A and B are shown apart, each in its own frame.
Chain A
Amino acid sequence: MTSPGRRAYSGRPVESVTVESVRRGEVTQDDLRIHPETLESQAVVAERHGNPQLAANLRRAAELALLPDRDVMRVYEALRPRRSTADELSALAGWLDERGCPRNAALVREARDVYVRRGLAR
């Protein structure tokens, strides 16, 4: 099914997650979450198959894999039209940098510049 030896976010080998272990409450959310390294290796595959943009997306995803769900939802909301001022977007980019998400930070800064020019900032 999946490549052998794939480890979940928690480090647990995915093969060890069974219905029985789920039922016994021995499986955490992180045991069913993708590991950033897996996303990186998928990025390499995408690059090899003629799609560097998909690879870049998977690398941004590898950074986001480290964030909790609510933070991911929050950044998305902040990037929607006229939700954030330029300063707020700058601050958001800084926060992403601090959380080890430089590629996403760069995306937010790029958005900020275009939003200001196109009237999409708050």
Chain B
Amino acid sequence: MIPPYDSDDDSRPAVPGPVGRIRFMDAQRVNLDGFAVENPELGLVALASPYDPKPGLVVEDGVVTEMDGVKAADFDSIDAFIAAHGLDLTVASEAMALSDVAVARMMVDPSVPRSEVVWLCAGMTPAKLARVLALLRPAELVMAMTKLRARRTPSNQAHVTNRLDDPLLLAADAATAAAFGFRELETTVPVLADAPSNAVAVSIGAAVGSPGVLVQCSVEEALELELGLRGFVSYAETVSLYGTEQVFTDGDDTPWSKAFLTSAYASRGIKMRVSSGAGAEVLMGGAERRSMLYLESRCVALARAMGAQGVQNGGIDGASVAGAVPRGVRELMAENVMVMARNLESCSGNDALMSESDVRRTSRTLPIFLAGSDFVCSGFGSIQRYDNMFGPSNWNAEDIDDYLAMQRDWGVDGGLRTADPATVAELRERAAQAVRAVYAWFGLADFTDEQVAAAVDAAGSKDLAGPDTVAVMHAARVIRETGLTMADVVTALQETGFEPEAERLLDMLKVRVGGDCLQTSAILTPEMRVLSLVTDPNDYTGPGTGYEPTPERQAEIDAIRQQRSVEDLRREQAAYASDALRPRGPATQGGDPREVVVGVSPATGRDVWVTLSGLPVVEVLRQLLAGLEEEGCVARIVRFDDTIDLGMIGLSAARLSGSGIGIGLQAKGTALIHRRDLAPLANLELYSIAPVLSADDYRLMGVNAGRHAKGATPEPARNPYTDEAIEARYHTRVVSLVAIERACCRAAGPEELTL
């Protein structure tokens, strides 16, 4: 938005500003996002552009002579590669003859096996598959993703980076990410020369956190390959594809160089996937008036043609461009489903932050999270936003608990698990110590105890003392120039007392020899079992089939660290126990017209000692009594053991009271004023929202009860107002407190108490 310009020219008529309601709406965070008018000329169109080619395929003598309206002689390099390698010509004529809607239905219909869909899609041109995917509505995309993803078990990938490339913090954060369940960690660098140091630090940290975590370092293609060849990373992902030839070659590659790179990684047993996604071509001004989905369809067809096992897509760096146009977020998900339909691993975006709005960014991820993907996020920012050297992610460190709660809410496996706080602390310490030991072993750097302690405790790099950027660069240079390999790191770990980590890093090198991680959608379990399209194929064919968390995994998903049981609450309450409230015998009917009885619930001062607002119940009673005393009233405290109903407690208190006015108090803090002639559910004044009540509120209730007793009509006290999710915060505790009250209930007469 262009800010208003103050002009002296007062000849323009004054335009009235928007009304308050609209000004208020304008100020919401979602309006920081850009929203673009659909514009095919600029490629600002999600699912279908009028300039997208019509699907078509002509094959003569086993050779593609025309594809999507382009003759072979006019193929650009992307067309040429797809036509030469990408299409299964044995099924092409059958597949291309199917109507778009027929294929779309097959993708959604659980009774059509996944294998049949991927077999047909192998014969479809980019324009054809784009048209099919454009037909799927959001709920249908969820169904298609549930069925079509290659691996049965969903997983997740994290970003682990920081502004300083601090190796101690990288290792601590990598161990933390592994502890939270991420099975792939992606690092990168603000300073390219630091890359070898980052790759080593994250690999060590990951090995501390869990066996079998795959690690990559996203840098320029040639350097990334070198890191892979030397064993410093265990997979690669930054092999970018683009949907137009111009942008592709601006990226300094061709389909052939990328295909070669794909084979180069495989030749060393290293897992790799390519990256693409909507919006990249638009940002580079090279969309050639095509829709985002069509351009991405070319990328995905090319990925398959090259023999890459998987694709990271769903916007990625261009996600906010897709998010700016109508149906753009739907397009992002369609890209992922397209990858799955081509029988490839999907690392499904949810990577770059696509909105300032928490609602929009959740909305963007939720359907994919529900359906399950090979990797729900192609980069969950497990670190602070400011430390994310890819730029902030759609999900960041502050969202981990949200994500875990979402898994629990839906009973869905999004790849993460709760990490015990004490375990996190131990792992961070061990990871930082391991990196310190290895760096010292090689003479790369000497870190101090203070530096280790700071990295262990740090929430992010802003918590570290000072950047030691020279040391990192020096370490990285030495690693690169002295020809160190990961096998040397294994030795260093072994020699410095980190045997299990040495073992785990060596296992990652041995995995390459077996080559099982080269198959589609491969990840390693903590037991070093390979899960892939081959060993763990998705077998969803409708309700009751497909992936279901094991009971152990379900328990892991359910047991977030914030959950509390009644017993937890009982222990918490017992810590506040006191002997201030003592029984004095059976309660009797009072006769003093200035007397007010405060009736308390069964558990008050017995098993429950603190109200929901954190006030000791004894203090609440003192305030009520002080208020009554202020009005010159006489107070008695009586416990009613036969009910937990506050109305009945208040009414019973009123009936015992000489003035006919009583106060009812539940141990959790809810309180009311009652009169002996009212119905149980009626009352004079009520504090219903116990969590927000203060000592002053209870004192005021005491004063008002005194005034009622004296026959006055005081202005009723009002519940303090809050717009917070007060019920979400307290309802589970209320349920537990009520259970405790119920357990204290017994058939007994009222009992006089002294304070």
Contact = CB atoms under 8 A, between A and B. Distances in A.
Interface in B98-117: 115
B185 interface: no
Contact-residue bracket for chain B: 35 or more
A97 interface: no
Nearest to B510: A14
B135 interface: no
B676 to A, nearest CB: 78
B715 to A, nearest CB: 76
B534 interface: yes
A55 B266 CA distance: 11
B346 interface: no
A32 B510 CA distance: 6
Contacts of B494: 19-20, 22-23
B252 A81 contact: yes
A44 B534 CA distance: 12
Contacts of A79: 254, 256-257, 260
Interface string B198-231: 0000000000000000000000011001100101
Contact of B513 (A6, A50, A64, A69): A6
B256 A57 contact: no
A79 B262 CA distance: 13
Given A50-B119, A54-B309, A80 B512 contact: no
Interface residues of A, number: 61
A32 B509 contact: yes
Given A8-B513, A14-B514, A23 B264 contact: no
B727 interface: no
Contacts of A9: 513
Nearest to A4: B514
Given A33-B269, A64-B263, A22 B491 contact: yes
Contact of B261 (A1, A62, A69, A76): A76
Given A49-B533, A81-B254, A57 B263 contact: yes
Nearest to A1: B528
B269 A34 contact: yes
A20 B263 CA distance: 32
A55 B513 CA distance: 17
B84 interface: yes
Contacts of B499: 19
A68 to B, nearest CB: 10
Interface in A57-71: 57-58, 60-65, 67, 69
A104 B122 CA distance: 23
A79 B225 CA distance: 15
B515 A56 contact: no
Interface string B234-262: 00000000000100010011101101111
A38 B86 contact: no
B260 A107 contact: yes
A29 B485 contact: yes
B259 A2 contact: no
A2 B510 contact: yes
A72 B229 contact: yes
Interface in A62-96: 62-65, 67, 69, 72-73, 75-77, 79-81
Contacts of B520: 46, 49, 51, 54
Interface stretch (B500-508, B552-560, B617-625): B500-508
A84 to B, nearest CB: 10
B253 A45 contact: no
Given A1-B528, A8-B513, A81-B249, A76 B260 contact: yes
Interface stretch (B275-283, B300-308, B429-437, B596-604): B300-308
Interface in B343-365: 343-344
A72 B487 CA distance: 21
Interface in B483-537: 485, 487, 490-491, 494-495, 499, 502-503, 506-507, 509-516, 518-520, 528-529, 533-534, 537
A118 B308 contact: no
Interface of B: 75-77, 80-81, 84-86, 88, 115, 118-119, 122, 221-222, 225-226, 229, 231, 245, 249, 252-254, 256-257, 259-269, 304-309, 343-344, 485, 487, 490-491, 494-495, 499, 502-503, 506-507, 509-516, 518-520, 528-529, 533-534, 537
Which 3 A/B pairs are nearest by Cβ-Cβ distance?
A57-B307, A2-B514, A61-B266
Given A18-B506, A49-B343, A57-B263, 15 more contacts: A33-B268, A33-B269, A38-B513, A38-B515, A49-B519, A50-B122, A53-B85, A53-B86, A53-B307, A54-B309, A54-B520, A57-B308, A73-B222, A115-B77, A118-B76
